Amino acid sequence: MLLECAQGKGWHARQHGSQTRAEHPGTAVQWDGQVYEVFAVEALEATAVRYRLIPWDHRHAIRRIEPYDGLAEQARAAHRAHLEAGVTKRWLSILFSPVLGHLPGAVQKRMEHDYGAPSIAMTVASALPLFALGFTVILASRIGSFTGTAIVPEWMLEHPGLFTYLTLESALRLYSAFVMSEPMGSLAGWSLYAAAAELRKPSSPPTPAPKSRTAPPEGALRDRYTMIEPLLAFLPENDQESLERHFAFDPLRWGRLSAGLILFVAGANVAISIFAFLTRTDGFLDFAVLVVGGFLIWEQIGRRKRIREGRPAGSVLGLFVQPLARPLLEAARS
């Protein structure tokens, strides 16, 4: 039987045996109640394919059979369209990775599962430029304080808080991608995605608020947890264990990530302060940074030791996280 098709069906031809390789039958095809073997596959013009079919040799076991009928052809056409759309989306995700990498990590993972978008690469492509920009502005600000000459535009130096935040957030995201092999979005990306999700929800008539005070809905708690999840590793050990039981929080993973980030940032600031002392351009701020940075370095070394032993490890920075995490802790303890 010769079967010519405008599009290939993914069937495989027989692999003939030799002295060093066993013979493998081609794809088993069921057509009008008969079972055939794909003996050979020949490429024609463009995407057309010719299949040579022979009656199935019953000496071979049928591991998988491909039906050839109207329903099967419809399913193949739908699958082919899905794959073609996936290829297009994959290339679009690569092209726009500096933007799509800001989406939440779970969304990036779903994109990778659905059509092969490289989630880790998207995170890196979106975080690396911002980290380089922020770190350059911080370094230029310090150099400018020594030399009195601005090596970056003045408007950048007028917003040190913004570029410090970009540096810290991007460093955290790069650490998650390279060390933890987990994609991570940005605060801006998470906020825009959450706002878009709210707009997509169907409108419903408002319900009267209950007179009695009730706990926050689970959806609001989950949103809060997603928002501050990386910061929860600074909380005390018992609080992290409560969050682990209730929200599936991973204290060891986030502990390693947060300790590594603080070590990097504190070490860089301590090095800059020491350089200021050596060049006699230091001030009170440099002394304060040296003391605080030295303490944080010492604390993170201890945290990493406890984490390697399989125990959660909090930080003094947990004092700033406690107010944000209070609703989560109340829900976990109830």
pLDDT in tens, 239-258: 998 888 888 788 888 888 88
Report phi then psi at 311, rounded to 5.
Answer: -115, 140
Q: What is the rounded distance in angstroms from the CA atom of residue 220 to the CA atom of residue 237?
A: 24
In the predicted model, is pLDDT for residue 215 greater than 60? no
pLDDT score, position 147: 67
pLDDT score, position 38: 92
In the predicted model, is pLDDT for residue 213 greater than 60? no
Token look-up 């130096």 returns: 157
Question: 89: which residues sit within 8 A by CB, 6+ positions away?
Answer: 111, 114, 115, 117
The predicted-structure confidence for 122-157, as pLDDT tens digits, reads as follows 999 999 999 999 888 878 877 776 666 767 777 777
pLDDT score, position 146: 65
In the sheet where 65-67 sits, what is the strand order?
Answer: 2-5, 49-55, 34-43, 28-31, 65-67
Q: How far apart are the first and last CA of the chain?
A: 71
pLDDT score, position 214: 47
Pure H helices in the chain: 70-95, 97-100, 105-115, 119-147, 154-157, 160-178, 187-200, 218-228, 237-247, 251-278, 284-308, 318-333
Q: What is the rounded distance in angstroms from the CA atom of residue 321 to the CA atom of residue 191?
A: 19
Average of pLDDT values for 80-89? Answer: 71
pLDDT score, position 157: 73
Q: Give the mean pLDDT of the chain.
A: 82
Q: What is the rounded distance in angstroms from the CA atom of residue 58 to the CA atom of residue 310?
A: 57
Average of pLDDT values for 47-72? Answer: 87
* Nearest residue to 56 (alpha-carbon basis) of 135, 120, 1: 1
At 204, the pLDDT band (50, 70, 90 cuts) reads low
136 within 8 A of 167, measured Cβ to Cβ: no
Average of pLDDT values for 85-106? Answer: 82
The predicted-structure confidence for 279-292, as pLDDT tens digits, reads as follows 776 677 778 888 88
pLDDT score, position 242: 87
At 264, the pLDDT band (50, 70, 90 cuts) reads confident
The predicted-structure confidence for 13-52, as pLDDT tens digits, reads as follows 888 876 656 677 888 999 988 999 999 999 888 888 999 9
pLDDT score, position 151: 73
